[in-house]
Amino acid sequence: MLVLPKTLAFVVAIVMSHGTIADADAAAAAPARHRQAVVANTQGWRYFNAGQLPRAAMRFRDALALDPDYVLAHYNLACVSSRLREAAVAIDELRWLAASSDPLAKSKLDKGASDPDLDFVSALPGARELLQLPAATPLADKTPLAWLSERHGVWSAEQPTSDCADRSYRFAFAADGTLQLTVREACAGQSVRTRVFDGRLTSDPTKAELRVAVPSWSQWPALVRLDFVACPGLEDAPSSCFRLASDKSELGPFHRGAPGMSPMRARRDVAAARSEASAATE
């Protein structure tokens, strides 16, 4: 049996005691750091919803510095990085989620396959593999219906006018081509009115175009074409929005997400603020 000298045994005892205290302190600090990470992530989410994307990214990074295993912060950083066109960061975060054994990480990856915030990065092969999406092909090489089906869900446009302070059109597309249109408007000082109509998408293979029919709404034109376009301010993503066009009128652009979450929103708010500032100095 090994017998340590008394002096050495005393030193070893002190080191072991300090190690035990340090481990206990670390265990006690972990919940506190996670709570701080939750606060940082929540602040980032508020910045994200306000359109302040760089600030949102900073707070999500702060959350991960506090808790590197915080799944929600990893997913949120992937989303905001995609919106900021920082593809490498977004893919790194998706890769972390794919490698995680946390069930929530898999749930978030499943959500990411159709999340509009990941639209930009989901066009890249590396991200598509992580999101378990089929190999990408250019819009010109596939039917528009297939392209839209991959991005099924809610698309919307806000069209306020001097007469109608609140007016929005919200499409909810299903992968089978059916759709639901929700029209919300408050015009001429009246209270908000919401109407819901059923419709369908049909494709014309000879012209590679989509047509939108809403027969349950009597005011809907007989022939409406859906054209993919780039959202204003997102010119590097050519199919990120669409417009609806008939022989007499045009409506859009429609963007992924609910009304009020348009990628053009920040641009519009800045323009309005500049207009007010200019009027105040005249």
Tell me the domain boundaries of the chain: 6-130, 144-266
110: which residues sit within 8 A by CB, 6+ positions away? none
pTM of the model: 0.58
Cβ atoms within 10 Å of 114's Cβ, excluding its own? 17
Residue 146's H or E segment, with its range, is helix 144-150
d(CA 145, CA 162): 35
Q: Does domain 144-266 fall into CATH 2.40.128? A: yes
Residues 266, 51 contacting (CB under 8 angstroms): yes
φ/ψ of 19, rounded to 5, equals -65, -40
d(CA 111, CA 75): 10
Cβ atoms within 10 Å of 262's Cβ, excluding its own? 24
Q: Does domain 6-130 fall into CATH 2.30.40.10? A: no
pLDDT recorded at residue 262:
59
pLDDT recorded at residue 281:
63
pLDDT recorded at residue 210:
84
pLDDT recorded at residue 35:
93
DSSP lists the bridge partners of residue 201 as 212
pLDDT recorded at residue 198:
96
Q: What's the chain's length in residues?
A: 282
pLDDT recorded at residue 2:
47
pLDDT recorded at residue 252:
86
What is the β-pairing status of strands 209-213 and 193-204?
Answer: antiparallel
**CA 197 to each of CA 99, 155, 158, 177: distance values in angstroms, whole numbers, following the listed order:** 43, 15, 17, 14
**CA 171 to each of CA 19, 82, 150, 152, 244: distance values in angstroms, whole numbers, following the listed order:** 60, 23, 15, 10, 12
198: which residues sit within 8 A by CB, 6+ positions away? 178, 179, 180, 181, 214, 216
Q: Which residues, given as ranges, of the chain have pLDDT below 50?
A: 1-2, 4, 8, 10-16, 26, 140, 266-267, 270
23: which residues sit within 8 A by CB, 6+ positions away? none
The answer to whether the 6-130 and 144-266 domains have the same CATH topology is no
